Amino acid sequence: MIQLSALDLALAALLVLFVALLSYRSHAGLEKKILFASVRATLQLLAVALVLQTLFNHSSLFWVSVMSLVMVTLAGREIHLRQQRRLTDGWGFFTGTAAMFLSSLVTALFALLVIIEYDPWYHPQYAIPLLGMLLGNTMNGISLGMDRLTSSVWDQRQILEAKLAMGQPATEAIRTLKEDAIRTGMIPILNSMAAAGVISLPGMMTGQILAGAAPMEAVKYQILILFLIAGGTGLGIMIAISILSRRFFDTRERLRVDRISAKKT
């Protein structure tokens, strides 16, 4: 494996600086966001490297569980912040976090206990990277699905109220919007699976090949990850949409648009 030096990373950072300069020259106004995101990502990854090294040296189910819960909570927060129209009663954060917890952790445990079968199964070398990849991709799908459903309910609130007035139950009135939200949430992983190996080489596969792994072994792991992400994303989206759709109606099946923020964020 070729060791990268600080100079190598600094040279790569010149590309980001160049893009920021182009943004400044074209008055796009993204240069500060580009630089801030780059610095933030660097600091976060360096901090994670230190934490992971500590976990690798002292493998413990307790600390792996603590870090996993922190990662799930932060992912739920990101989902909530990405919503253009958020629920006003805090259920947006709860819905995203619960969906992430149930889908990603269940999928990760299935992979660790049934497929990988490393002893101990909670070893951070496998558990944390696997959970991180699941959370990152599942988070995108859930946030897109929730945002689509919330925005659609707000934009079509008069149509929904008309359906309810005509006697349709709440589950039937919102069914089409739920289906559209699920399809929207699944778009990223479906695109990734369609492009894998033909248009792009996925990140995990590329990283393993650069690290010296045989291409066939790298492909096997990438297929495993894609299937796990697809399963976790689908499960997470359906959980999130199921919980969220119920919050738009009260016990008497009346539409409660007051639970949706009237102002976009």
Q: Is the pLDDT of residue 265 over 90?
A: no
Question: Who has greater pLDDT, 149 or 200?
Answer: 149
pLDDT at 19: 93
CA angle 32, 132, 31 (to 5 degrees): 10
Average pLDDT in the chain: 87
CA-based nearest residue to 149, from 174, 120, 116: 174
Mean pLDDT of 140-157: 91
pLDDT at residue 178 greater than cutoff 80 = yes
Question: In the predicted model, is pLDDT for residue 126 greater than 80?
Answer: yes
Cα 174 to chain centroid distance, Å, stands at: 24
Q: Which range, of 58-72, 96-110, 202-216, 228-242, averages the lowest pLDDT?
A: 202-216
Percent of the chain past pLDDT 90, that is, above it, reads 26
Q: pLDDT tens digit string along 82-98?
A: 888 888 777 888 888 99
Q: Specify the pLDDT at position 191.
A: 87
| Predicted local distance difference test score (pLDDT) of residue 1 | 62
pLDDT digits (tens, 9 = 90+) for 163-176: 988 888 988 999 99
CA-wise closest residue to 70 among 135, 158, 165, 1: 135
Burial status of residue 147 (CB atoms within 10 A of its CB: 0-12, 13-18, 19 or more): buried
The pLDDT of residue 176? 93
Q: Which two tokens stand for residue 4?
A: 């990268």
pLDDT reading at 24 higher than 70: yes
pLDDT tens profile 181-233: 999 999 988 888 888 777 777 777 777 777 777 888 888 888 888 899 999 99
pLDDT mean over 155-162: 90
d(CA 102, CA 239): 8
| DSSP code per residue over the chain | -PPPPHHHHHHHHHHHHHHHHHHHHTT-S-HHHHHHHHHHHHHHHHHHHHHHHHHHHT--HHHHHHHHHHHHHHHHHHHHHT-SS-BTTSHHHHHHHHHHIIIIIHHHHHIIIIII--SSTT-HHHHHHHHHHHHHHHHHHHHHHHHHHHHHHHHTHHHHHHHHHTT--HHHHTHHHHHHHHHHHHHHHHHHHHHBTTTB--HHHHHHHHTT--HHHHHHHHHHHHHHHHHHHHHHHHHHHHHHHHHTB-TT--B-GGGB-SS--
- Average pLDDT, integer, range 110-129: 87
Bigger pLDDT: 261 vs 21:
21
Alpha-carbon span 139 to 107, nearest angstrom: 14
